[in-house]
Amino acid sequence: MRRIFLRNIEREPRDKMSRNRIIRACGFTERGKILLSRLDRADEENFYKIRYNEPLKEWIEEGFALSEPILFVGATGIAVRSIAPFVKDKRMDSPVLVVDEGGQFVIPLLSGHLGGANELAGLLAAKLQAVPVITTATDVNGVFSVDDFARRNGLSLFPKEGIREVSSRLLEEGQIRMRIAPEISYDKNRVPQEIFLVESVNEPVDVEILPDDGKPSGKATLTLTFKPYILGMGCKKDTPFIKLEGFLQEKLQVPVLKVAAIASIDLKKKEEGLLALAAQQHVPFYTYAKEELLTVKGDEAESDFVQAVTGVPNVCEKSALYCAGEDGVLVQKKTAENGMTLAVAKRIPKLKEWT
């Protein structure tokens, strides 16, 4: 039998990867389980929550309840039948992927854009030297994807039906009309050719992009709203998700629906509780090296203990500010309780990624 299990796995340089994920993973056969085990050992960025003896239905149901990415190693048909009862809403469903047990193909089945399954398929395929099998129409035709654009820039979408309408217009007509509020900065030279920019608020458009306090015009098929807040978080090793969730609910002083990301130091890149919290909140989890965090200057609160453990005097505030980027400001200073810390930074409204 030909053996192709990760024989030439590609490791990405640390300085190129800052986003980390929790991935629920399940192998249906012994060969699939071996491939999964090797992928788990080789992937330095993602935390694999591997299923062993748990009942499959309950294991998947829990994953969907937390919106955690789910990776099956085995037949696509088994995966489809297994997830079918739990598929509800493309904005909330777990990203679901399948890898064949030979490690040759990576197939995103569900939540390709909003959940990032397509992006994750590409990353896993690179590690496996496999082929990502992408079937979403905008990707296949090489046109602008509005839901992927929203995810990459930290924008909320409403209504969800507008996603399909806008995508259909792009595929059928090759162009959409978009209005971007003047409070939001962007590089006009990077705007894709499929987008025709409209300035007047009185004209109907396919997409309008607003700041977090913007009022919809009522003249757009789809409204994207900028989420301005970045959570910087830290915790003791192996702090349970349930404790972090309760801590966040109690201490957060800004609307949770306006949170764009959670950030921390790279020592926490595989901290299961933080990864699960980010998945549950439908936001990315970014981690940074201490050298990056130390470039953040300000009057952040300092801890000798945190300095000794991490090399950084304040993880949560520096992580939030670093992730918020240039001109980001601290709007909630460090809050600490039972080994958990939280701070909030606000980023300026800016569109950075178009494709």
The boundaries of the domain holding residue 73 are 14-135
Cβ count near 92 (within 10 Å): 15
| Euclidean distance between the first and the last CA atom of the chain, given in angstroms as a whole number | 41
Q: Domain end: 187, 203, 226, which one?
A: 226
Q: Domain check: are 220 and 233 in the same one?
A: no
Give the closest residue to 259 by CA, choosing from 318, 344, 147, 322. Answer: 344
Query: Across-strand partners of 340?
Result: 235, 337
Query: Across-strand partners of 49?
Result: 24
- What pLDDT tens digit does each residue of the chain (355 aa) get? 222 223 333 333 333 335 899 999 999 999 999 999 989 988 999 999 999 999 999 999 999 999 999 999 999 999 999 999 999 998 899 999 999 999 999 999 999 999 999 999 999 999 999 999 999 999 999 999 999 999 999 999 999 999 999 999 999 999 999 999 999 999 999 999 999 999 999 999 999 999 999 999 999 999 999 999 999 999 999 999 999 999 999 999 999 999 999 999 999 999 999 999 999 999 999 999 999 999 998 766 777 778 878 889 899 999 999 999 989 999 999 999 999 999 999 999 999 999 8
pTM for the whole structure: 0.91
Which single residue is written with the structure tokens 């915790």?
235
Q: What does the alpha-carbon distance between residue 344 and residue 8 come to, in Å, rounded to a whole number?
A: 41
Number of domains in the chain: 3
Q: What does the alpha-carbon distance between residue 131 and residue 98 come to, in Å, rounded to a whole number?
A: 12
Cα angle 270, 275, 276; round to 5: 135
Q: Domain check: are 40 and 125 in the same one?
A: yes
Cβ count near 34 (within 10 Å): 17
Q: Domain end: 226, 259, 279, which one?
A: 226
Q: Domain check: are 123 and 197 in the same one?
A: no
DSSP string, 121-190: HHHHHHHHT-EE----HHHHTT---HHHHHHHHTEEEE-THHHHHHHHHHHHHS-EEEEE-TTSB--GGG
In a domain, 86, yes or no: yes
Q: Domain end: 195, 226, 257, which one?
A: 226
In a domain, 310, yes or no: yes
Q: What does the alpha-carbon distance between residue 144 and residue 150 come to, in Å, rounded to a whole number?
A: 11
